[in-house]
Chains A and B, each alone.
Chain A
Amino acid sequence: QVLLVQSGAEVKKPGASVKVSCKASGYTFSLYGLTWVRQAPGQGLEWMGWISPQNGNTHYAQKFQGRVTMTTDTSTNMAYLEVRSLTSDDTAVYYCARETWNDAYWGQGTLVIVSS
């Protein structure tokens, strides 16, 4: 079965960077794009971007352009989300998801807390 397992919670200071990982299993990793979505405490879902493991093509929400990098490693079926120059507004649960037209599989989420 399709499974996405994310790395554990992180606590970072303002100005630092964080790298969240997402380990995929149960399917051919290179064939499906991966989406990253975040959710601040008590807030809605915010679409951050998408990456194709097959060729590295990405689409980012304009809000995150230049501050976020999505990468994949097809040898280990891993996806990564790096967010730089963190502020308290980046405190959120970060999800990876494999979305196709008719199904969607989500990781369990990674809590990132930004606090001095």
Chain B
Amino acid sequence: EIVLTQSPATLSLSPGERATLSCRASQSVSNFLAWYQQRPGQAPRLLIYDGSSRATGIPARFSGSGSGTDFTLTITSLEPEDLAIYYCQQRSNWPRTFGQGTKLEI
């Protein structure tokens, strides 16, 4: 199974700052990588699919990049509602797997 390793575990930033979250795969997943946001007490919400495509309704301040084994989620100009845990998910192979998450503190 493909292991996804996210870093950092926790990121503490202020409103208006830029957040950079990393996800590394144990083997190539091509661009079949998604990012989810999970706010406290809520179900996850899809932010990014295919490595860099924003899902419907996701603000432009969220962007994804990368391919193969190294991926990045960037959030420009942080807002208080961005407080959440962010997970990457590979959709290349069965079983699908999630990273362990990055907690973003605002």
- Tell me the total A-B contact number using a CB cutoff of 8 A: 60
Q: Closest CB of chain A to B47's CB: distance in Å?
A: 10
In the complex, which residues of chain A have a beta carbon less than 8 angstroms from the beta carbon of B43? 95, 97, 106-109
Contact partner of A46 among B38, B44, B46, B98, CB < 8 A? B98
Q: Closest CB of chain A to B89's CB: distance in Å?
A: 8
Contact B55 A104 (CB under 8 A): yes
**Chain A binding surface SS class:** strand
Interface residues on chain B, number (Cβ under 8 Å): 25
Contact B46 A49 (CB under 8 A): no
Interface residues on chain A, number (Cβ under 8 Å): 23
> What are 7 A-B residue pairs whose CB atoms fall within 8 Å in the complex?
A59-B95, A95-B43, A95-B44, A97-B44, A103-B55, A104-B36, A106-B45
Residues of B within 8 A of A (CB): 1, 34, 36, 38, 43-46, 49-50, 53, 55-56, 85, 87, 89, 91, 94-101
